[in-house]
Amino acid sequence: HVSIMGDDTAQRLCLKGLQSSAGFLQKKISRRIDTRYTPRIKFEIDMGVKNSIAIARMLNDVLPEDSAEVDCESLPPKDSGTTEIE
């Protein structure tokens, strides 16, 4: 999986370039590793980064602007799950 930043046209062009170089890369790999068969290289677009950016934008639109400014002193103490022995 590859992450390609840019618009859809740039992503398609980059993916096409990677796919066209797969045979060349496969040959280079086969010369460097000692296996009976060379792994077949296949490139697919990883939408994880693009989806993460979209979710972050949605959260920024939904959350109030001052939500990032939290007064730590006003928060209750966090229970660490341990007990003090006197």
Note whether residue 40 is domain-resident. yes
Note whether residue 29 is domain-resident. yes
The number of folded domains in the chain is 1
As a whole number of angstroms, the distance between CA 1 and CA 60 comes to: 28
pLDDT band (50, 70, 90) for residue 28: very high
pLDDT band (50, 70, 90) for residue 17: very high
Note whether residue 3 is domain-resident. no
Note whether residue 81 is domain-resident. no
What per-residue confidence (pLDDT) applies to 18? 95
Residues 29-83: tens digit of each pLDDT:
999 988 888 889 999 988 888 888 889 999 988 887 765 555 556 555 555 444 4
Q: At what angle do helices 22-32 and 8-20 cross, to 10 degrees?
A: 40
Contacts of residues 41-44 at CB distance under 8 Å and 24 or more positions apart, as own/partner, are 43/1, 43/2, 43/15, 43/18, 43/19, 44/1, 44/2
Note whether residue 1 is domain-resident. no
Note whether residue 79 is domain-resident. no
Note whether residue 31 is domain-resident. yes
Note whether residue 72 is domain-resident. no
Residue 45 phi/psi, 5-degree rounding, is -75, 130
The whole domain housing 51 covers: 8-62
